[in-house]
Amino acid sequence: SRLSMGTENAAESVIDPDMVALFKDFLGEEDSSGTFVPFTETKPVAQPYHYVVRDTQQKGLYLHDGHLVATNLQGANSSQEGGCNGWEEVAPPPMGAPTHLPHLLAEPISVVPNRHLERQRCPLIVGIRGGEQALSCGTGPEPQLKIEDVKLLDLFSAGDKATPYTFYKTFSGSTHTFEAAAFPGRFLSTA
């Protein structure tokens, strides 16, 4: 099934230590008032974090004909699945990696924070291909999920232009949900 936008109830959020580290790497140290002391550089010195994502039925994300699809790993590829639900941190794909492999390999997502939206909601600019392409829900009246050739690190510095590429991540134990910043109440879904 194709990765799409759906509506579902968000889980109650708990602190995700990976996201605390991501925001610290990109935005600097948090001061005593709970706000970040920003770095002076306009371009981030940190690099995107990379994760393999699976849904509650253990379907992973794969790139097929320019679209992200959710599929079960089977046979020889089942060893790719790893042991934890939700997402697991991975190394970025090699530069110049082919966009379609003859056998199914999970497509890692890459994330950087959106520094222009409310930090407490964990706004993440989401992409694939090591951060070379971004996942957009569009700017029209209804979300249109698509992959665009724009770098996450460029979007990090793009202000409001990054909102269509931004998803609020909620973490509840082993479940992560991604709500579209540009379309409140709409979530990434494999249904």
What CATH code is carried by the domain that includes residue 52?
Answer: 2.80.10.50
DSSP result, 54-65: B-TT-PEEEEET
- pLDDT value of residue 104: 58
Q: What is the pTM of this model?
A: 0.75
Q: Is residue 39 part of a domain?
A: no
Q: Is residue 43 part of a domain?
A: no
Mean pLDDT for 156-178 is: 90
Instruction: Answer yes or no: is pLDDT of 127 > 90.
Output: yes
Domain boundaries, position 115: 4-30+48-189
Q: How confident is the model at residue 85 (pLDDT cuts 50, 70, 90)?
A: very low
- pLDDT value of residue 79: 45
- Nearest-angstrom CA–CA distance, 98 and 100: 5
- pLDDT value of residue 99: 43
Q: Is residue 35 part of a domain?
A: no
Q: Is residue 23 part of a domain?
A: yes
- pLDDT value of residue 101: 40
Q: Where is 189: in which H helix or E strand?
A: strand 187-189
- In the chain, how many domains are there? 1
Q: Is residue 72 part of a domain?
A: yes
- Nearest of 12, 117, 22, 106 to residue 59 by alpha carbon: 106
- Nearest of 31, 29, 48, 49 to residue 39 by alpha carbon: 29
Q: Is residue 37 part of a domain?
A: no
Q: Is residue 173 part of a domain?
A: yes
